[in-house]
Structure 1
Amino acid sequence: MGNIWSSPATARMTSWCAPPARGVLSFEITGYSQHRALGAGTFIQSAAMDVGGYRWCIRCYPNGDSRKESKGYVGVYLELLSKKAEVRALYELWLVDQEKGGRCSSLIYSARAPTLFSTRDAAAGGPKVCWGAGWNKLMEWNALEASSSPYLKDDRLVIECHVTVIREPWVVESSSSSSAAAAVEAPRRSLSQDFSKLLETKIGADVTFKVQGQAFAAHTCVLAARSPVFRAQFSGEHGAQQRSVTIQAEDMEPAVFEALLRFVYTDSVSPSMAGLGADEKTEMWERLLVAAVRYDVEGLKLVCERALSEGLDADTVASVLVLAARLNCDVLRDACVEYIAGTCRHRLRDVVASDGYGHLKASYPAVFVDLFEKVARIR
């Protein structure tokens, strides 16, 4: 009898990584002057909040922490409260503009790379404890407490920390073979993938948008859930009967509307940016920002403002500032003013020589007041 050969068992490992978890911690400090009167190194904490399965809070040092170089500054930190935990996270520190009724905030500090937060016990072989991260020089006392400061009004200060928790991959299946029972795999699909498929297949679509002759099928229930403007448009007896909508806006191109729809369904515009050059991406971000403001898609508006803020240069900052002023995008406007105020002399000449500077000077003179005050603080 000849030998019978069977194929070897195949080892298999499956893992998946959940999307980042995001949250915003808001810390309102009333009676700021009384807290400032406390000694250096004394801190106050916000209430705890769960983001990505971990507990976080804001730790504020109104009179500076105990380090000598922190004297004269307010220090703010993001603190990990979960015990024996280790997690990577991105964070941003914002101050709320009190003069605008708390509707606007200014980005003061942004971590450029994920920070490792750890509260593991070093004695047990874990890494050195890093309970939190932040900035010991968030703002000078003189600048924060000046009468022109928009952040401290009626002895009240509001700090926001935007947290993005980077989740680690999760291994759900190690080895398997043909003789073993099939292991149950974790779901590989996410909600955004399902909604992306829904947009692409058009199954159940009940409205068609026409943009410069190009048609886009969509679902009114999804649009209404994501945009107050769409919600108002499709509510009521007349709105519910709409099956075709023609968008007349001259500045709305098919590619821009398609990117808007993609974000509404998936919280992402990455496919719309694929293959575009640097200048084309800037133009697309600008047009998407206009669309986001028009349809009140707040998440897309913030994404566009951040993308344009990160791509500023001497040739474009003036024109971007014009756009920010026209659309009342305070985050982007502050970033442009900060860029111009902090630029070196020869780059400032390039800004003045750019095409957008003349339009800015003629149409939005109030911006120059902000710029003058910012330069004065920096000098």
Structure 2
Amino acid sequence: MLVEPVKGQSTVVLSSEEPQVFDRERPSWGLRRFMKTTAEVEWANLWNDCLVIECEVTVIKETFDVHVPPSDLSDNLATLLEGKKGADVTFKVQGEVFSAHKILLAMRSPVFEAEFYGPLGNKGAQNGHDWLADKNWQANIWHFQQVTALKLAKILLVLRGWLGANQLLDKILVCLPIGKPNFGSKPSSPDITIDDMQPAVFRAFLHFIYTDSMPPMRDLEEDDKIEMVKHLLVAADKYGMERMKRICEGMLCKSLDVETVAAILALADQHHCSNLKDACIEFMLSSNRMNDVMASQGYAHLKRYSSDVIVDVFERAARSCKI
């Protein structure tokens, strides 16, 4: 900045917002751009052949970048699922057993949340107190059980004295729960049986719940991959996992052909997938593919079980004048 000697006012001549680096690799001894000298400038800024220049310099200290690795939370959760550490619920799916964690399932799915922690779910742990793990409560129950069993035993012994040896009375006496208390930990929860899902599909479903990503399907043939995605869409709809459902919709939209579009349309209508349904109808009506679609097996199934969808297709076709 040039400083006017009389008034002391400063005029910005040159400024730079970008920092200038001065080091051995990039030496800099000045600027290539200078201010043009005019009589007006000399008259305003020269005083006794002296020029006052004001410089504002900001020195920036060198900073060091710290490399932050990418998040590995999904990998850790996948390891938790595979390792089964701390698992507190077991699923039986067509003979295969899967262990999982209730709190994580409930966090991801409103259906699991209602099942495990809703008013009809864990009845032993309501209002913040787990009665099944309360040893005082267990002791009271055990005491009541022992008193009742002893009274019943006395009655049975009196009957045995009247009736003599009796095998039925002897068996009842042996089965009475009289003995030392066993206050262990909370009993394990019963297994949950899944009848409407294949083990491979349930494994992929758990993978998404824990990692928020679709499982790798590189080893599957294209037809098997499409079938897997269909089953996962059904599971996502059943357990209220909207993000997973949308991902499956997107994958199926990219795999439409004349042989599968009718079956996928029926699936989309059944599970309220509006985006997938629109994509299927648009595919059927485009490029004069309707005749080929009507010749497929999927269309026969669609016509038999989802006739209202057929009506929707033809109504859209009539509006667009494509038939």
Partner of 1:280: 224
Partner of 1:337: 281
Conserved? CA contact 1:210–1:244, under 8 Å: no
The residue type paired with residue 333 of structure 1 is K
The residue type paired with residue 373 of structure 1 is E
Q: 1:359 aligns with which of 268, 292, 301?
A: 301
Partner of 1:264: 209
Conserved? CA contact 1:321–1:336, under 8 Å: yes
Larger % of helix: which? 2
Partner of 2:264: 320
Deviation at 1:267, TM superposition (A): 1.1
Q: 2:191 aligns with which of 240, 245, 258?
A: 245
Give matches, 1:302-321, under 5 Å: 302-321=246-265
Conserved? CA contact 1:317–1:336, under 8 Å: yes
Distance 2:201 2:114 in 1: 22
Partner of 1:234: 116
Deviation at 1:242, TM superposition (A): 6.4
Q: 2:106 aligns with which of 209, 215, 224?
A: 224
Q: 1:211 aligns with which of 64, 70, 93?
A: 93
Distance 1:331 1:300 in 2: 14
5+ long unaligned stretches in structure 1:
1-173, 175-182
The residue type paired with residue 371 of structure 1 is V
Partner of 2:6: none
Give matches, 1:29-40, under 5 Å: none
Q: Secondary structure at the match of 1:234?
A: helix
Partner of 2:14: none
Conserved? CA contact 1:234–1:242, under 8 Å: no
* TM-score, normalization by structure 2: 0.56
5+ long unaligned stretches in structure 2:
1-63, 126-186
Provide, for residues 326-350 of structure 1, a one-character-per-residue CA deviation record: whole Å limited to 9, x for no partner.
22222221111111122x23x3222
Distance 1:267 1:190 in 2: 12
- In the alignment, does 2:245 pair up with 1:301? yes
Larger % of strand: which? 1
Q: Secondary structure at the match of 2:98?
A: strand
The residue type paired with residue 260 of structure 2 is T
Partner of 1:35: none
Distance 1:263 1:187 in 2: 23
Conserved? CA contact 1:262–1:269, under 8 Å: yes
Partner of 1:61: none
Distance 2:101 2:114 in 1: 14
Conserved? CA contact 1:315–1:354, under 8 Å: yes
Partner of 1:134: none
Q: 1:242 to 1:338 in 2, by over 3 A?
A: farther
The residue type paired with residue 104 of structure 2 is V
Provide, for residues 295-330 of structure 1, a one-character-per-residue CA deviation record: whole Å limited to 9, x for no partner.
111111111111111100000001111111222222
Q: Secondary structure at the match of 2:191?
A: strand
Aligned residues: 195
Distance 1:200 1:239 in 2: 28
Partner of 1:349: 291
- In the alignment, does 2:196 pair up with 1:254? no
- RMSD (Å), alpha carbons: 2.2
Distance 1:280 1:296 in 2: 24
The residue type paired with residue 295 of structure 1 is Y
Conserved? CA contact 1:209–1:244, under 8 Å: no
- In the alignment, does 2:81 pair up with 1:196? no
Deviation at 1:184, TM superposition (A): 5.0
Provide, for residues 191-245 of structure 1, a one-character-per-residue CA deviation record: whole Å limited to 9, x for no partner.
2122112112222111111111111111111100010110011014338676343
Q: Secondary structure at the match of 1:217?
A: strand
Distance 2:256 2:94 in 1: 31
Provide, for residues 14-69 of structure 1, a one-character-per-residue CA deviation record: whole Å limited to 9, x for no partner.
xxxxxxxxxxxxxxxxxxxxxxxxxxxxxxxxxxxxxxxxxxxxxxxxxxxxxxxx
Q: Secondary structure at the match of 1:336?
A: helix
Give matches, 1:15-164, under 5 Å: none
Structure ID, larger Rg:
2
Q: Secondary structure at the match of 2:247?
A: helix
Q: 1:228 to 1:323 in 2, by over 3 A?
A: same
Conserved? CA contact 2:207–2:215, under 8 Å: no
Q: Secondary structure at the match of 1:270?
A: coil
Conserved? CA contact 1:206–1:218, under 8 Å: yes
Conserved? CA contact 2:91–2:194, under 8 Å: no
Deviation at 1:372, TM superposition (A): 2.1
Deviation at 1:358, TM superposition (A): 1.1
The residue type paired with residue 261 of structure 1 is L
Q: 2:69 aligns with which of 187, 201, 206?
A: 187
Q: 1:242 to 1:328 in 2, by over 3 A?
A: farther
